[in-house]
Amino acid sequence: MKSKTSQIKLIFTLILTLLAVVFVVLNTNNVAINFGLFKLKLPLIIILVLMIIIGVLIGYFWGSYGHNQDKNN
């Protein structure tokens, strides 16, 4: 049963990854980001990739934190 759940998670992850890649590739224009004290002008593709990486890291650490809490109980 665990194998079936992991397969569903893998398929869901692959679909989300494919959608993210398509979205990133379609948005390559330059955009200005205002940080208050200064402005940065970067291609949107770089910003999107950075935000996706940050989101994955947050999800990984949040998930591993919950997993570690389950092990301790």
pLDDT category at 1 given cuts 50, 70, 90 is low
Token pair 């692959």 in the structure block, residue: 14
Q: 19-73: per-residue pLDDT in tens? A: 988 888 888 899 998 989 999 899 988 888 888 899 989 988 888 766 666 565 5
Q: What predicted TM-score, i.e. pTM, was given to this entire model?
A: 0.57
Q: What is the spatial distance between Cα 9 and Cα 17, in angstroms, rounded to a whole number?
A: 12
- Is 33 in contact with 39 (CB distance < 8 Å)? yes
- DSSP, collapsed to helix, strand or coil, labels residue 1 as coil
